Amino acid sequence: MSAKRTSIHGQWSSRWAFILAATGSAVGLGNIWKFPYIAGENGGGAFVLVYLLCVACIGIPIMMAEILLGRRGRRSPINTMRVLAREGHHHPAWQYLGWIGVLAGFLILSYYSVVAGWALAYVFRAAGGLFSGAGGEQVGEIFTALVSDPERLLAWHTIFVVMTMIVVSRGVQSGLEKAVRFLMPALFLLLAMLVGYAMSTGSFAQGVAFLFSPDFGKLTPAAILIAMGHAFFTLSLGMGAIMVYGSYLPDDASITQTSVTIALADTLVALMAGMAIFPIVFAHGLEPGAGPGLIFQTLPIAFGNMPAGTLFGTLFFVLLVFAAWTSAISLIEPAVAWLVENHGMSRVMASVWAGAITWTVGLGTVFSFNLWADDTLFGLTFFDLLDFATANIILPLGGLFIALFAGWTLSRRVTMEELGLDGIGYQLWYILIRYVAPLAVVIIFLNVVGLLRFG
C-alpha cells in the first residue's frame, strides 16, 4: 500500500501546492511562443480543438499514470521503477524507464538553461532601454552580439543554473513549494497585464482571430500530428519530473482532478500568451515568426516602438525567466532525489553535483552558437542534436513505456487503488492508457522517423 510508504524528501503541503509545482513544470518557454504560433499556422480554433482533444486522450491519461507511479513508489523515478517492478514481480529492466527520465531532464536542462540565460540577459537590455526606437537590423545585431560571445553566454548560463540549484537545494516545502507559490501566481499576473495591454493596441481582435478563428482548410493530417505531438510534450511527460513530483503528493489528493487542472492551466497559459503576443506583433506590422526569432528578434522591435515599451518589454522577459525557472527546477529534481537516496548526499551537495554536471554539458550548447558553430554531426550542431534527440526520441520513448507499464504491466488493483476511480471513469482511463495513448505516441515517433528518412 502506498500509504505505508513515505518519501524521505517530504511531501507537498497540499494538493494545490502540487498543482502549482506541476503546472510550473509544464509551463515553459514553449508555451510562450510555440503553441500560439503553431495554432495560428495550422487552423487556429480548429487546431485548438484538436489539441484539446489530444490533451484529453493522450496527455492527461499519461500524466495520471506518471503521477500514480510516483506516488506509489515515493522515490526518485529510478528507484520508484525498481521498487514497483520488484513489488509486482516484474522484470527489473523496468528501472531503466526511470533512467530515461533522469537522462532527459539532464540533457534538456543543459541547453534550456542557455536559452533561459538569453531571457535573463534581455530583462536587463529591455529595462535599460536598449530596444527603444530600435529597428530590425539593430535588434538583430543585439541578438547576434549576445549569442556570438561565448563569455556572455557562459555567464548567463551559469547564473541561471545557480538560480535553479539554490531552489532545489532547499528541499520540497522550503525550496520547490515556496518558489512555485510565488512564481506561478506572478507568471499569471504578468500574463494578465500583458493581455490587458494587448487589448489597447487596436489589433487585439486581429490577434485573437489569428489564434482562435477555425480554418478547417488548414487542418491537414500534418497539423493533427503537430497537435498530437505538442499535447504530449507540453505537459512535461516522460522526463521524470511529473513522476518525482507525484512522489511528494499526499495520499488523499485526487490524481484525476489534479491532472485535469494542470492540463487546463497549462493550456490557459499558452492561449493567454498568444493573446498577449500577436496583437502587439500585428499592431506594429510585424510577421509572427516561430521560435527564438519571435521572442528575441521580432518582439523587441515592437517593445522598442510602442508606448511604455520599456516597461512591458521588461515584464515580458521577466515572465519568460519565471516560466523557464519553474520548468528548470522540475527537470533536475529527479537526479537530485536519486543522488540523495543512493549516495547518502545532503540536498545541498546533491544539488551542487547535479548542477555542476548540467552546467558542464551546457557548455556544448554555449559553444554551438559561436566557437563550435561550424562543427556538426548529421548536419546538426551540439545544441540542435540535443534538442532533436530529447524531443523526438527520448521523451516519446519515456511516455510510451509509462503507458505500457501502467496499462499493461501494473495490476488493475494497484492502478485503481491509486487513482481512486471505479466504474466508467476507471474504464475510460484504462482504455486510453492501454490502447489510445501508446498508439498515438507510436504514431508521433513513426512520423519523426519518416521525416528523418524522407526529409
Q: pLDDT tens digits for 85-114? A: 999 999 999 999 999 999 999 999 999 999
pLDDT band at residue 294 under the 50/70/90 scheme: confident
CATH architecture of 2-454: Orthogonal Bundle (1.10)
pLDDT of residue 317: 93
Give the closest residue to 66 by CA, choosing from 403, 443, 455: 403
pLDDT of residue 79: 96
pLDDT of residue 36: 84
377 three-class SS: strand
Residue 289 has pLDDT above 70, yes or no: no
Counting other chains too, the contacts that 404-410 makes at CB distance below 8 Å and 24 or more residues apart are: 404/438, 405/65, 405/69, 405/81, 405/84, 405/94, 405/97, 406/65, 406/68, 406/69, 406/433, 407/65, 407/433, 407/434, 407/435, 407/437, 407/438, 408/434, 409/88, 409/90, 409/94, 410/69, 410/84, 410/88
Q: Which residue has the higher pLDDT, 393 or 355?
A: 355
Query: What distance in Å separates the CA atoms of residue 145 and residue 129, rounded to the nearest whole number?
Result: 17
pLDDT of residue 348: 96
pLDDT of residue 218: 81
Give the closest residue to 403 by CA, choosing from 203, 182, 238: 238
* Residues contacting residue 257 through CB under 8 Å, at least 6 positions apart: 15
Question: How do the domains of the chain map onto residue ranges?
Answer: 2-454
pLDDT of residue 450: 67
pLDDT band at residue 1 under the 50/70/90 scheme: very low
Residue 34 has pLDDT above 50, yes or no: yes
Averaged pLDDT, 63-70: 96
Percent of the chain with pLDDT over 90: 64
pLDDT of residue 360: 98
C-alpha cell at 18: 502540487
pLDDT of residue 301: 87
- Across 60-64, 133-137, 228-232, 287-291, least confident range: 287-291
Residue 25 has pLDDT above 90, yes or no: yes
pLDDT of residue 455: 53
Q: Which residue has the higher pLDDT, 33 or 193?
A: 193
Q: Helix crossing, 77-87 with 95-127: angle to 10°? A: 160
Averaged pLDDT, 4-9: 83
pLDDT of residue 454: 55
Residue 3 has pLDDT above 80, yes or no: no
Residue 299 has pLDDT above 70, yes or no: yes
Averaged pLDDT, 141-154: 94
Beta strands in 139-288 (DSSP E): none
Q: What's the alpha-carbon Rg for the chain, to the nearest Å?
A: 21
Note if the pTM is more than 0.95. Answer: no
pLDDT of residue 224: 86
Average pLDDT value for the chain: 90
Most trustworthy range by pLDDT among 132-141, 247-256, 279-288:
247-256
Residue 144 has pLDDT above 50, yes or no: yes
First CA to last CA distance, the chain: 49
Give the number of other CB atoms < 10 A from CB of residue 221: 8
344 torsion bin: left (phi>0), alpha (psi -120 to 50), beta (else): left
Element (H, E) at 130: none
